[in-house]
Amino acid sequence: MEKNEATGAQPLLFPKPVFHNKIWGGRYLHDEYGYDIPDGDVGECWAISAHPNGDCTIEGGPYDGRTLSELWQDEHELFGDAKGDRFPLLIKILDARQNLSVQVHPDDAYAAEHENGSLGKRECWYVLDCKPGATIVVGQRAHDRAEFAKMVEEGRWDDLLYSVPIKRGDFFMIEPGTIHAIQAGTVVLETQQSSDVTYRVYDYDRVQADGTKRELHIPQTLDVVDFSLPLPKSGDVTAPEKDGVTVLGTCPNFEVERVRVAEGSPARVPQTHDFVCVSVVHGEGGKVTTPAGSWDLRLGSHFVAPAGSGDLDFEGDMELVVSWPEG
């Protein structure tokens, strides 16, 4: 769909997801979302990404066949006044058939210095599905670097790691420096900075197909763990819902909202930001209409509403996760 000349509105951008095989992944992304995924254990759907490790190609419209990173560089007016030398967000769905490794991410300053100018990795999780009794690791109990190092060396993981029970609809903000791990039987939508820097602390002594173990990053972990972070009691969303919209989380890099759309109860998302990322995470789907036109949506649809798209009017039966950059 071309830019609407009558209204001047930009059309929506629909990236083609990129999938990554992971030792801990499964087939949920195919079985539940209907994605055409590679053979084997697939753990990650990079749904909206301009990162070099998974740069999405736009499908349809005037930018068909171009990557999101190309648009950021060459058609930057699509992203308003958004700053930076790269598209700042990365939206994923993670299927943890088995436990992910216990890990931690650096902040911007550490990543820029030690990871070839990368962004740091602040992220958040919205729990889409989980098995009964599932838990998630989101924090640790050591008080300082020396105590943490000693507990790791002694393998005292039950003493060190802090876990909480989870349920569908829970939300967690994962600050840089947070020890964390998604556990088996859990599917999350992850909104994060556009970074692929992960420091692995513990991987359950798992062996890969080639007989090797995945690399651990203990020195980097000791550098970046933030011992001042509070331990969450739960992932309960306590913010009020207004006209179907709930603010899930706000941080220096992004804001994330949940939008519920029901038959006969349409919802409007104002597009007053540099750009907005939208993911259909539950429901049968429906339609989104802007001044540039209308698009059909289904479970697993993802799109970017660029600057100048106009407000987003949704109808149908679906739950959305919506995010945009801050700062």
Q: Residue 271 maps to which CATH number?
A: 2.60.120.10
- Spatial distance between the Cα atoms of 327 and 316, rounded to a whole number of angstroms: 33
Cβ–Cβ under 8 Å, residues 257 and 323: yes
The verdict on 129 and 214 lying in the same domain is yes
The verdict on 183 and 251 lying in the same domain is no
pLDDT at 44 over 90: yes
The verdict on 45 and 92 lying in the same domain is yes
The verdict on 215 and 253 lying in the same domain is no
Max CA distance (Å), the chain: 68
What residues are annotated to the active site?
200
- Spatial distance between the Cα atoms of 169 and 92, rounded to a whole number of angstroms: 16
Residue 53: which of 167, 160, 192 has the closest Cα? 192
Cβ–Cβ under 8 Å, residues 145 and 89: no
pLDDT at 6 over 70: no
pLDDT at 1 over 90: no
Domain count, the chain: 2
Question: Sign of torsion, CA 220 176 126 318?
Answer: negative
In this prediction, residues 267-289 reach a mean pLDDT of: 97
The verdict on 210 and 291 lying in the same domain is no
The verdict on 154 and 256 lying in the same domain is no
The verdict on 67 and 216 lying in the same domain is yes
Residue 84: give the domain boundaries: 15-224
Q: pLDDT digits over 170-229, tens only? A: 999 999 999 999 999 999 999 999 999 999 999 999 998 899 999 999 999 999 999 999
Q: pLDDT digits over 59-70, tens only? A: 999 999 999 999
Cβ–Cβ under 8 Å, residues 231 and 139: yes
The verdict on 202 and 76 lying in the same domain is yes
Given this model, what pLDDT does residue 7 score? 58
Given this model, what pLDDT does residue 307 score? 97
Query: Helices then strands (H, E): number in the chain?
Result: 6, 22
The verdict on 171 and 317 lying in the same domain is no
pLDDT at 157 over 90: yes
Torsional class of 110: left (φ above 0), alpha (ψ -120 to 50), beta (otherwise): alpha
